[in-house]
Amino acid sequence: MDQIQEHRERMAQVQKRLHQKFGKPTWHVELPAVDELVCTILSQNTNDINRDKAFEALKERYPSWEAVRDADPAELKYVIRIAGLANQKGPNIQTALQEITEERGEIDLDWLKQVDPEKARDWLVRLRGVGPKTAAIVMVFSLGMPAFPVDTHIYRVTGRIGLRPKDLDVTKTHAYMEQIADPAEFGSLHLNLIDLGREICQARKPKCGICPIRDLCQFEDKTNE
């Protein structure tokens, strides 16, 4: 059996166990693609609560994405400050909106639904502040496209469990996960792996004793906690 097939079979078992443990999760309120893009930029290096507060503040202050694009940069940074890294996120958001306008003549991403997923991904990652994870989140949760977002939790737990080659970097892990997981489950599996990483397979003190996939995991330093 080759490595990819082995990982596909392991992934199928992991997916089933996580579904039994955490249920079939749902994403936060489904957003239009531009909204999801901005929300995901805000989410970088912060928690969900502060991301949502910053996004709500942004929507309350500005009536449209055009208004955000053209806003005073200092004011925008102040509005989104609760999300942290406002000096980075503010310019990233405004530049991305400017780039969308320049390319399309308007701030809209729904047209991406009509193109090949790889072309959509390539187009998105050209935007300021948009990497593979942000592009994949927009694709799978707003555009209905097959894409598997990989964050720090997912990268850690997939390495420990043995769902990817150990030396595979984060960027290549996105594509690898898309090879071994069921496309129909990309979104729910992404969320369940994050829950596993946050609640059980934590970076410093994994709670291996209560892990629902302990017997499927190849982590060499399992704990009994």
Active site residues: 133
| In contact, 77 and 105? CB cutoff 8 Å | no
DSSP string, 90-147: HHHHHHHHHHHHHHHSSS--GGGGGS-HHHHHHHHTTSTT--HHHHHHHHHHHS----
The dihedral built from the CA positions of residue 96, 102, 106 and 112, taken in this order, carries a sign that is negative
SS (H, E, C) 52-99: HHHHHHHHHHCCCHHHHHCCCHHHHHHHCHHHCCHHHHHHHHHHHHHH
Measured distance CA(187)–CA(102) in Å, rounded: 31
Separation CA 157–CA 196 (nearest Å): 8
Q: Assign residue 107 a region: left if phi > 0, alpha if psi is -120 to 50, beta otherwise? A: beta
Backbone angles phi, psi at 165, to 5 degrees: -60, 140
